[in-house]
Amino acid sequence: MSRPRTLAMAVVAGVLTIFVAPAAAFATPAVSGTETMPVYSYQNAVRESVWVQTSLDNDGDGVPDRVAVDIVRPREAAARHLKVPVILEGSPYYACCGRGNESELKEYDASGTIAKQPLFYDNYFVPRGYAFVSADLAGTNRSTGCMDVGGREEVLGAKAVIDWLNGRARATYADGTPAVATAWTNGKTGMIGKSWDGSVANGVAATGVEGLETIVPISAISSWYDYQRFNGVLRAPDYPEYLASVVSGRPASVCAATVAGLDQGSDDATGNYNAFWASRDFRPDARKVHASVFIVHGINDTNVTTTQFAQWWSRLDVPKKIWLSQMSHVDPFDIDRAAWVDVLHRWFDRWLFGLPNGIDREPQARIETAPGTWVNERSWPASGAHQTKVTLGNGDGLTGTLGGGSSGGFRTWTDAPDLSEAAAVASPNTAVPGRVAFLSAPLSSGVRVSGTPAVSLRVQVDKPTTELTARLVDYGTASRVDYLGNGEGITTLDTSSCWGASTTADDACYLDTAEDVVTSDHAILTRGWQDAAHHVSLRFVTPLQPGKWYSVTVPMQATDQRIARGHVLGLILQASDNEYSSPQSVGATIRLDLRGSSLSLPLVGRLPASGATAPIVSTAPAPSTFAPMRVQPELPS
């Protein structure tokens, strides 16, 4: 265990400026330049638990549902009548699954008062003049109500906490006496959280609630439909019910009606976007967001996929910032720890204390371009990216080409439900039943794909529908983050480092991590899925007629990847995908018209013109097993 570490603080002109605030003022007693300083005692902080009353009663007991809230705040600030801002995390995972790389749970003392908060937020920020507040989402841990998985109960329950912090809602202590927050906070609140927790922050921000000044959604959901469906393709059956059962803290009989509503509303049978999903889609309400937004996401996240951040980001008209790593579903604290703690500190100082530290004038985007290599950019997607139409060529009749003049020709394949991703993308010059491949010429100079690719396919299908799957592949040897490994891009080390103050019950020390880097001869850059019968609308099914030609667009996940000189870009098409989804219609035969099909790339640079035939690409042998990778749904954790 390493000794506690204090980050270096910038001191303007070498002078520490002390501000002593009048009673009831909003201030911090010590600022170095434009940075809050750790002057409050974490050991002696006020620790308390309250229950915030909501306007809902979805457990049907005739009593308003209550959200359990655990608070750690600086005692000295309260004694001096200084009102402090709040960092809030709402989560369903505090009792069932844990938070962070070490799966920390909440812990309470003998009286039921919070003794340990997961993660470093309270350890680091409470000494700097913030309160840290963690809320158990409705139906989880010590809250009442029933978990409705992204619905009104979840979002409005978390919003009620902000209303209470601003004097607009009621709360009580365990003994029933009133709990008043306005005595110690001015109500300025920032929400943070990874995955489901960050999704709650997105949802609450979309209500436009007064007092929410900023959110930091990490690997977060902005549309629960897109999390549990891929354009009409079912990701896993009975998914909302599964999620609710994992996190619920209530007896099954109490929440049976809510769970039944999840089953009925989610409509596995059709995969349609309906009123149930619309109520869990925060993107249309992006115009209501007035809080600043700092998005963090892994560009290779296969759990909460990248359309979640890209479509949210593009609709936000507020001060915003974005970090994109090469990881899968990993917290930035476990990627670039020192840089993350520093930027998060500055972000909260700017938006919750109003300190003019300039972070809002810095480049919006920080992007990991290769293992451990980061660049800052003015905006995202890259300003030089242009949507480029890439034609599909016939090649040698087996392996097609990307780029160059449009050519005629067809490809026909029959769905192979057990075809694994590894086998589908390996050896693109060979015949593999169930997939077709298209390759660019070797790149004469590096290019960058920044944004959301898509492939438009003109197809005939011999069944009323089929899943269509597209993968964009970089063929070429390089060192890459192993985002498909067990650590989703990181390895946990034996050493540790400390980020804040500690108590006996709650230390600020965490195991260090390192990027998991491998050398590979190819990498999947992005994926996309589409149910063909939803080609007209996601709101209804339009069955295909055998023998009739249809244009079906397969959107891919947003990405930002660089493809090096000499590498080959590949497009791999197949039908159903047993690893990332649960196909409902399999076995179709698809005929593809090349002249009526194309790939759309948000491209910086140019692909070379293709030759008459595709280049020869060799890859390591694919694994011999075709077993599905995922046998049960993932948690958005």
| Secondary structure of 415-460 in HEC code, one letter for each residue | CCCCCCHHHHHCCCCCCCCCEEEEECCCCCCCEEEEECCEEEEEEE
List the 509-515 sheet strands across, edge first: 4-5, 490-499, 509-515
Nearest to 284 by CA among 221, 218, 222: 222
Q: How far is CA 450 from CA 63, 324, 378, 403, in A?
A: 50, 11, 13, 18
Query: How far is the C-alpha of 161 from the C-alpha of 133, rounded, in Å?
Result: 9
DSSP 21: P
Is there a contact between 619 and 426 (Cβ–Cβ < 8 Å)?
yes
Using DSSP bridges, classify how beta strands 386-393 and 365-370 pair: parallel, antiparallel or unpaired.
unpaired
Q: How far is CA 549 from CA 467, 532, 552, in A?
A: 16, 12, 10
Is there a contact between 375 and 367 (Cβ–Cβ < 8 Å)?
yes
Q: Is 79 left (phi over 0), alpha (psi -120 to 50) or beta?
A: alpha
Q: Which two tokens stand for residue 290?
A: 């007035």
Is there a contact between 349 and 357 (Cβ–Cβ < 8 Å)?
yes
Is there a contact between 138 and 156 (Cβ–Cβ < 8 Å)?
no
Query: How far is the C-alpha of 360 from the C-alpha of 346, rounded, in Å?
Result: 10
Please state, as a whole number, how many other Cβ atoms lie within 10 Å of the Cβ of residue 591: 15
Place of tokens 């009102």: 83
Q: How far is CA 96 from CA 47, 241, 582, 631, in A?
A: 22, 16, 26, 21
Please state, as a whole number, how many other Cβ atoms lie within 10 Å of the Cβ of residue 141: 22
Query: How far is the C-alpha of 120 from the C-alpha of 97, rounded, in Å?
Result: 17
Nearest to 336 by CA among 460, 512, 202: 512
Query: How far is the C-alpha of 386 from the C-alpha of 367, rounded, in Å?
Result: 19
Say what angle helices 239-247 and 256-266 make with each other, to 10 degrees: 150
Q: Which two tokens stand for residue 154?
A: 């979840």
Residue 495 identity: T
Report DSSP letters for 374-391, one per residue. Answer: EEEESSSS-TT-EEEEEE
Determine whether 307 is exposed, middle or buried from the number of CB atoms within 10 Å of its CB (0-12, 13-18, 19+): buried
Query: How far is the C-alpha of 221 from the C-alpha of 226, rounded, in Å?
Result: 8
Nearest to 371 by CA among 519, 475, 473: 519
In sequence order, the 6+-apart residues with CB closer than 8 A to the CB of 436 are: 400, 411, 413, 572, 573, 574, 592
**Which positions are annotated as active-site residues?**
195, 301, 329
Please state, as a whole number, how many other Cβ atoms lie within 10 Å of the Cβ of residue 237: 12
Using DSSP bridges, classify how beta strands 66-73 and 185-194 pair: parallel, antiparallel or unpaired.
unpaired
